[in-house]
Chain A
């Protein structure tokens, strides 16, 4: 048992001793401790340095509001968590943690010079200081700022833990299992309603955990609590979630709860996920979030050993730890007396209570007297002393007129402070409920709600145990409508609860030299707030951002009201007029893992595979992602580079036969009596005269006239079209078609069906394509005259149904074999077998791209970018000129769409045949133009053409169609490349190879 542990107190298990390591030193704690309580039990108060001034800091609270005691927790590789609040970090055997914000050591920290230099780094110093000279930015300011910026050390290894998520629905979600939340849960669940009760602590009870002496229904608080827990646990309609933080309250009673499952267990002891995100939709919500104590604002209020009075009481009653042996108290509120009394009874010496109020309650004064505690009422604290821990406080009397008298020093090893209590309205605010100002509490409380929500207890500004229980029960009953009857609780031994509010405590010293902290985590002092107002910031939102008050990871839980009150005073307006800054989710810092849940690695997004994918994998394909598909990129033979493999695939396809898995093409079946009319209205082309059995290249525009998608479309009968789209555009095109059909032309009798995944598509390209198909196809005459280019036939291949297209995306004799997806692999294998005599060569997307570029076939989204018209792309031929209308037609007639200076698609041939331009490279007119050179276009596609033995490129160039033969320049790293503008078709310009 260490010097500060109090036997017989707290909910810790004295027989369950745990070892833990803090900053390399080994300590002992007990099961039930937090890291904070265990450190305090070992007399350790100095646990970190502050963010800006690197001042020594201790433990200031016993809960989630902690702004000082942030530590890094190391649970092994991939399990390092910085900025963990020691006050909510449950102790386990072997816990390893370290303090933050120092170099080289916590005790001797170079950055502490900032504290001495504090007058040089006032509010907004980033904006004021690092301006000149410009050359200092890269070399001096930025490296220094970067090194000192940020809290803690970010982990670098991938997160080794798993995270879960689930949806849940309930009648009543109750946030907070303190007295009000428990009363609500007990009442609401009585009627059989499905209740979820969530609390961020390891056990339910809230404030009761720190107040064991009070009695409810004639029972000691902890006995009552255990009975309440057993009652709720015994009800099948109640889900009790501890270690579960409601992080955000969203529309229509949708709340996010993060449940921590393993952080309290020894590292690597469990196969459970680390955290689970509950996404809860509740018919009714009861918020019983409680209240957070406010610090007092005086010089040196941040010294290790200075903490909130309620925290001092919690450490004693909940964890069996006294925070000091000579404790002083400074307060404006009754509640601090309770901490003093409990500590005095537990044997911690309590020297003095400094009460700013002139006339504290007589009962409190009498009890203080009986415990031998001196009460200085109408006194103030003006300074603290001590290095790694408080050693003395300077106290002064304040007379009726506010005049501060002569100082007196009082020795102490801990100082408890209470500035009153702030209701936690965070979640209510998330839900866009209005906040009302309560003058008596000097705090905002929930006002008119925006959702089906009720607030109860201290979080609603209802302080006192009996009142909180009654309000919680009433809220619980109300959720059940008229059926609900509030449970009635009786309370004995309730303490008084009233106080006043002070901004900066009165002082006889120069207040502009005081380090009186408001935001402990971001090192914002009272004088920073006043400086911001003097410099012209009036809106509280601006004051917040300029001073960074309330912007740290604690989001101002202890600093918002103090910051607001001082800003309001400086502005000269009442606090409610100045208003509060916005509360935003999450309520407390939340791991990325909790949000990511299952969606990581292979589960990050869907990976779609074609029915032929397994063959490609077995045959050594290298894959690339294309929208959500994984596609074979190229098929290297052993020892081949990508360039060599692609060159071989290109040669084989042009000379004999290539085979390509085109299954990812989007496919839409357009069917109905008005199918042709619908196609006429959607696509630029004319469809009425396209005979069944024939295909046409279709171009789809947006209403703005720009190219959106393209693809070959086959007409199978008068009333049936087989539409293909780009791989990435399939869903978008179908949605666009549905939109027009449902909302603009609901009179058309047309049905649209996505068939992308129903058809496997095998493209055969090359002079020998027909020879391989012929023996396998039944019922289709493949002869060139019977089955010309751009035709489609239905029949059988290898005994299974096929829609056979004669189309080509390579410029060679080409067929696209569509078979039901389940036959894709077997037909593919049969074709490979049949093609052996012709050295049939599987090729991937890279070869497909290179071969189509040789023919000048565009890829939508690569050679177009959403600002390219059919004319720009050189495809005016695809427009049905006589059609009265189609999507985008009117826009093509706008004057700017006909500007001859528009960027137009052309070919580019570099002066040096081996130069392959970078796709996306900018194009300029001359190499010697003044910088910045006007950019006249950019490269859209660029490849080595195996067929031509040189590079080729496509580009969008201003007025390009009229500039063929001209020379342009392409600046790239290290060189300025010269190129000639050409036609877009590089190979077989007359299409002789297609018509065989």
Chain B
């Protein structure tokens, strides 16, 4: 069972308190009606599914109930860092800093 650091509660809590909520940084288009069918399909269904660094959303469901973002390595399963929803995608340097 992973330990996950909630950026709002500012502590590491066991995985059973959290739920996964899909890939992060996929903003809902401000006006979906102007999107082509292809662009809307991509927003709905197409995900990056990388081997390695993945930006993803989690919710501290059985804690503060807030959604937040995380960077996780899909190979090792390790969380590299977590950060508040709304913050931009962290840079490689920022991730490295957290890793050390």
Contacts and interface: CB of A to CB of B under 8 A. Distances in A.
Q: How large is the interface on B (under 10, 10 to 19, 20 to 34, 35 or more residues)?
A: 20 to 34
A894 interface: yes
B88 to A, nearest CB: 14
B86 A890 contact: no
Interface in B1-47: 1-3, 14, 19, 21, 27-28, 31-33, 35, 37, 40-41, 44
Contacts of A895: 37
B2 A890 contact: no
Given A703-B44, A894-B37, A895-B37, A742 B67 contact: yes
Contacts of A894: 37, 40-41
A432 B77 CA distance: 11
Contacts of B67: 738-739, 742-743
A884 interface: yes
Contacts of A279: 1
A252 B3 contact: yes
Contacts of A1: none
A890 B35 contact: yes
A895 B38 CA distance: 12
Given A251-B2, A891-B44, A894-B40, A742 B32 contact: no
Given A738-B65, A885-B33, A890-B33, A744 B86 contact: no
B89 interface: no
Contact of A432 (B19, B27, B76): B76
A743 B86 contact: yes
Contacts of B40: 890-891, 894
Given A739-B21, A742-B66, A744-B27, A885 B32 contact: yes
A746 B86 contact: yes
Nearest to B30: A885
A93 interface: no
A596 B35 CA distance: 50
B57 interface: yes
Contacts of A251: 1-3, 77-78
B80 interface: no
Nearest to B12: A252
B95 interface: no
Contact of B31 (A740, A744, A885): A885
Given A738-B67, A742-B85, A704 B44 contact: yes
A889 B19 CA distance: 27
Contacts of A891: 40, 44
Nearest to A885: B32
A879 to B, nearest CB: 14
Contacts of A432: 76
B60 to A, nearest CB: 11
A690 interface: no
B5 to A, nearest CB: 11
A448 interface: no
A735 interface: yes
Contacts of B1: 250-252, 254, 279
Contacts of A252: 1-3
A279 B33 CA distance: 51
Contacts of A738: 59, 65, 67
B4 to A, nearest CB: 10
Contacts of A889: 32-33
A121 to B, nearest CB: 41
Interface in B47-100: 57, 59, 61, 65-67, 76-78, 85-86
Contacts of A890: 32-33, 35, 40
A450 interface: yes
Interface string A740-756: 10111010000000000
A251 B3 CA distance: 8
B39 to A, nearest CB: 10
Contact of A450 (B32, B33, B37, B76): B76
A491 B66 CA distance: 58
B79 to A, nearest CB: 9
Contacts of A884: 31, 33
A267 to B, nearest CB: 35
A572 to B, nearest CB: 31
A743 to B, nearest CB: 5
A735 B59 contact: yes
Contacts of A893: 33
A348 B51 CA distance: 61
Contacts of A704: 44
B76 to A, nearest CB: 7
A891 B78 CA distance: 35
Interface string A220-255: 000000000000000000000000000000111010
Contacts of A250: 1
Interface string A715-742: 0000000000000000000010011101
Nearest to B15: A251
A737 to B, nearest CB: 12
Contacts of A739: 21, 59, 67
B61 to A, nearest CB: 8
Contacts of B21: 739
Nearest to B78: A251
Nearest to B4: A252
A806 B16 CA distance: 41
Contacts of A743: 57, 67, 85-86
Contacts of B78: 251
Interface in A872-896: 884-885, 889-891, 893-895
Interface string A886-908: 00011101110000000000000
Contacts of A746: 85-86
A744 B32 contact: no
A314 to B, nearest CB: 36
A740 B65 CA distance: 13
Nearest to A752: B65
A894 B31 CA distance: 15
A681 to B, nearest CB: 10
Nearest to A256: B1
Nearest to B45: A704
A406 B19 CA distance: 70
A744 B28 contact: yes
A432 B2 CA distance: 14
A251 B4 CA distance: 11
A584 to B, nearest CB: 15
Contacts of B31: 884-885
Nearest to B33: A890
Contacts of A740: 28
Nearest to B61: A735
Interface in A923-957: none
A889 B32 CA distance: 8
A893 B31 CA distance: 14
A903 B33 CA distance: 25
A704 B78 CA distance: 31
Contacts of B35: 890
A742 B58 CA distance: 12
A735 B65 CA distance: 9
A365 B57 CA distance: 68
B3 to A, nearest CB: 5
B74 to A, nearest CB: 14
A740 B86 CA distance: 12
A741 to B, nearest CB: 10
A168 to B, nearest CB: 13
Most chain B C-beta atoms within 10 Å of own C-beta, residue among A251, A738, A893: A251
17 contacts: A251-B78, A252-B1, A281-B3, A450-B76, A703-B28, A735-B61, A738-B65, A742-B67, A743-B57, A743-B67, A744-B27, A889-B32, A890-B32, A890-B35, A891-B40, A891-B44, A894-B41
Given A252-B2, A279-B1, 14 more contacts: A251-B77, A281-B3, A450-B76, A738-B59, A738-B67, A739-B67, A742-B85, A743-B57, A743-B86, A744-B28, A746-B86, A884-B33, A885-B32, A891-B44
The 8 A-B pairs of least Cβ separation, nearest first, read A890-B32, A742-B67, A744-B28, A251-B2, A254-B1, A252-B3, A743-B85, A743-B67
